[in-house]
Amino acid sequence: MVTSIYRLGYKKLSQMIFEWQAADRASLLALFIVMEVTMHWLWCLLVWLRQDAFGSYVDMALLYPIWVTITLMGLFFWWMVGHLSHIKNDYKRLHNWQIVLIFVYSLYIAVVVLVMGHSSLVSGVSLVGGTMLAMMLVRRRYIWYAFLIQVFLIMLVAILPYLGVNLPSMRQLTITSLPLGTYSYQTYTEMTNMENAIAATIFQDGTLSWDSINEIRRSSVFFWRATHMYLALPKAIFMVYVFSTLLLILDNSKKEIIQHANHDELTGLKNRRYGLTQMRQTLADLTDTQDYTVILLDLDLFKYINDNYGHEVGDQVLKEVANILMDTLADIDIVSRYGGEEFLIILPDMAHDLAMTIAEQLRCDIANHVIQVNHSLSFSITASLGLYTLTHTERTCIKQRYASIKSKEHAPQLTKSQIVKSRRGKRVTKQAPELPKAQLPSDICQRLIRIADKALYEAKDRGRNQVVSANEMLAAENSNIEPLYCI
């Protein structure tokens, strides 16, 4: 497709970055160049129409060949807009034409900066801003090479005059700018300083009269400053707009990436990875008096639903169960889809008795909920839940035992501490390494889930549709579950 200017809106720019093919992005870059060349062409037209006013500031003999060159470049880049979009399936030709586009533009903008007066504003916007904008649209390697070429050309333009090489320039100084009969190469900044000093001579008693305004207007410094702002500022404003839009796109993309990374797409709940991450974080944030409860919920006979009603109905069941969990549990609770038809529920700062009440309420809400597939098909589903509460007392015991193991690992280092003598004969003891701070084992989350999972399987063995407490199983004399604190 041939690129057009209306594609520069937010949605189209987002589509361009993430969906457009390389040929379409290169075509858009060519369109941007056409817009810039058009501005240069209009400047030449204005000078030609007002040559009676601007002729003393511009070398008119050089204007005409420059104007013709700009016209030819504009036609070339306009042809590239359509040509690049029609060779999208020929990648070798596309890459070759991208190189031609970038190389020709680099030479063109270097000539424009040279003949229209060296300005740090124009060259800076073209060098930095143009490079960053082009990197969005074509291969970055090509743009990097073009950037190095432009840096080389700018350095060359700055050095050659000091070597006695006279470079062409459309900038023509007026009589009021420099003394007659003098000529030497001056940089743009030096000429501006001299023109400002000479222009200051038209002030009387430090004031500016209305009669002096016309003299200032006729000074070439104002004309060329306006020219450089005309060449640079619209381009800079346009690039700031594009980059601000790009940042909005990236912000929204970041939100979408985080959303997909942390959420289960089907149910809208947190996914397994995020649930485990939050579990580790909330365990680390517990105070010394808080209990911690983990619940594993599994839907009963879910395979039967998929086999008899189809996976689409199974997905509907998962969504509706997820809605029940979100409606029943508080915002501080962590609910995630652990896998398949299994859900992981984390209740920070939750005592065992209250957690059992919440788990029973969840079981009843799911059992009483009717899944309405269509007018002729509806059914109910049940869930089994396994629960384990890590009490603050047990958590303290785990920390102490874990710290004891870590201290034993550091024991060989402690036995190497020796008493040595200093040069003055004093006895000095080497400082022993610090003991590890009491903390929970790195696999504490897996341990908690494993115990809750054993309670869940017990609920399945007891006939499903019930809540089983792993704490009660541990307290029983015939329990086969190994206590969590036995490390």
Residue 382 CB contacts under 8 Å (≥ 6 apart), including other chains = 299, 300, 301, 363, 366, 367, 464, 465
Rounded CA separation 95/142 (Å): 9
Per-residue pLDDT averaged across 387-402, rounded?
Answer: 86
Prediction pTM value:
0.54
> For the ranges 168-172, 177-181, 307-311, which has the lowest average pLDDT?
177-181
pLDDT surpassing 70 at residue 409: no
pLDDT surpassing 60 at residue 397: yes
Judge contact between 349 and 277, C-beta under 8 A.
no
- Give the model confidence (pLDDT) of 107-148 as tens digits: 888 888 888 766 667 777 777 777 877 877 788 888 888 888
- Give the model confidence (pLDDT) of 41-62 as tens digits: 999 999 999 888 888 888 888 8
pLDDT for the residue 178:
41
pLDDT for the residue 375:
86
Best CATH choice for the domain 272-409+434-475 from the list 3.30.230.10, 3.90.25.10, 3.90.550.10, 3.30.70.270: 3.30.70.270
- Give the model confidence (pLDDT) of 282-315 as tens digits: 988 888 889 999 999 999 999 999 999 999 999 9
Higher pLDDT, 103 or 21: 103
Per-residue pLDDT averaged across 86-92, rounded?
Answer: 78
* 464 pLDDT tier (thresholds 50, 70, 90): very high
Tell me which DSSP letter residue 126 carries. Answer: I
pLDDT for the residue 453:
94
Candidates 286, 282, 264; CA nearest to 273 is 264
* Mean of per-residue pLDDT scores for the chain: 78
* 69 pLDDT tier (thresholds 50, 70, 90): very high
pLDDT for the residue 305:
92
Per-residue pLDDT averaged across 341-349, rounded?
Answer: 93
> For the ranges 177-191, 346-360, 432-446, which has the lowest average pLDDT?
177-191
Judge contact between 270 and 278, C-beta under 8 A.
yes
Residues of each domain in the chain carrying CATH 3.30.70.270: 272-409+434-475
pLDDT for the residue 461:
94
